[in-house]
Structure 1
Amino acid sequence: MEASKTMAKQFASQGDLEPKAITFVALADGVYAYTAEGDPNSGVIVGDDSVMVVDAQATPTMAQALIERVREVTDKPIRHLVLTHYHAVRVLGASAYSAEHIIASRGTYELIAERGQQDYDSELGRFPRLFQDADSIPGLTWPSLVFDGGLSVWLGKRRVEIMHLGRGHTKGDTLVWLPAEKVLFSGDLVEYGATPYTGDAYLRDWPHTLARLRELGAEQLVPGRGAALTSRSGCEQAIAGTQAFLTDLFEGVRKARQSGKTLKAVYDEVYCALQPKYGHWVIFDHCLPFNVSRAYDESGEHPEPQIWTAERDRAMWQALESG
């Protein structure tokens, strides 16, 4: 029997083909959230003489839809593009912007060098809807400006802080913070109503990074997925919800593994424990096999995330989701 016929669930997000409604919301004067019902978010910051975009979208064709929204509010050139982390669905649309500066953390640069092509091949198979016109992608996205702890960018009088506070969703997670407006673009360090993906994560570190993020005191927050949060309490709800999920996931996997259970047995147990609380979140069924696999690795002999390839994706999915 073919592998696809033995799977209890359709692989990853291959069954999610319905288009999502895009929202372009003003959070402050010249600051916008670009969201789409749980698809990867982007941000737009308009300065005195130029524009910064936060996260590029998956393909140049998809980036054009964001550029059209930018052109509804300003004709200033897009000079800065920030990559909050490296995953193909976030970065491979970069060429559409013709930005002078593509900014990324050193950890993100290292991930591109180490596993950029494998990640592209993997995510293309997982998210067919999110790679509209994949042939428009000219190749991997490489940053032109790489930083370590952080840097300040002035868009005229508007100050933008770009910072790496620690490992979490990946080893290179980057925040974009507007201190005057108290608006934070978190990338996938924070999700809202969407399941955190932890396949490339550092689950022991992530809660500590969230604690540092919380100290910024954001009053508005654009998560990696989900609607923008426009109140201090909403920001805290998103941060706390992300942290609760991570704790429940890792502790559940760690304890089950310590009892001597196999990866498949751990997955079945943790899925049943998490589904009642988090199963309504976007991409829950997509993420859980990857998430449990990474938590199982990190609680054992693999402190560093293993590289996901299209072949490893399928083998893992069949092992955990087969009937």
Structure 2
Amino acid sequence: MSTDISSVDSASVDIVVVGSVNLDQLIEVVALPRPGETVQGGPVARLGGGKGANQAVAAARLGRSVALVGAVGTDQDSAGLRQELAAEGIDITRLAAVPGPPGQAVVLVDQQAENCIVVSPGANAAVGPPTVEAAARELAAAAVVVAQLEIPLPAVLAAARLARGTFVLNPAPAVALPPELWPLVDVLVPNRTELARLAGVPEVLDVAHAARLAAALPCPRVVVTLGAAGALVCEGAAYELIAAPPARAVDTTGAGDTFCGALAVALAEGRPLGAAARFAVRAAALSVERTGARTAMPSRAALERRTG
């Protein structure tokens, strides 16, 4: 008998992602525009996105069972986003529908594979504690719960309180975190910019500086993503730089989300943080070799073929 993958027993999933679902509109440009500048771009590609949805897709493609908690709208775009996520094998039972459009993002990608992104929250702004609390059973049963900051902070705090496994927070976009959230975070995964914002400094100068900043945060385990340089794993005062393998970069848009999804997979499989970060670095490196965020995320088979 066939099973509706949008309504499977979500209490049995390995990973629950609590976060945003967006429709991305991606435009390739020769160079990213400066303030006041207009640049000509290529065709507009409409792709599923949002940090929550992207990280859920990354984890699902790498072989773990995943549920997504969040919200989309009630329009045709939202229906399409639901279908895409269900087709990835993700449980969308707890993906609420609120009147209006989904979240949307405009993504510009230049010829050096760098990007800039503008996000309109749409339905994501309606994700609050009630949305999260409806998934309390799933959150308590999951080995890993992952959240980001493209949904309101009260929803993130509710997820952290309900998680019984490892709670991973990707603080993107970076904002000041409430004091009551910090003790609930098991693993924090910022990039350089987000680490600087959380630490209250203008920028991260180098790896040693990043390690000092991470050690000063009120979180015992921090993994700083460093793009082509790999990732910095900090556990207390100890730190390790994990180099990224060589990659033919085309588009870096989804690399951070691929990393977070892959890290969740490895942690759900019981790997130590350093080994989990190595797995995630390899997945992220492979993702930059194709255009788009979700479209570039590798399957487990593709990752194993590349890494052996």
Query: So what's the TM-score if we normalise by structure 2?
Result: 0.31
Q: Which has the larger radius of gyration?
A: 1
Query: So what's the TM-score if we normalise by structure 1?
Result: 0.30
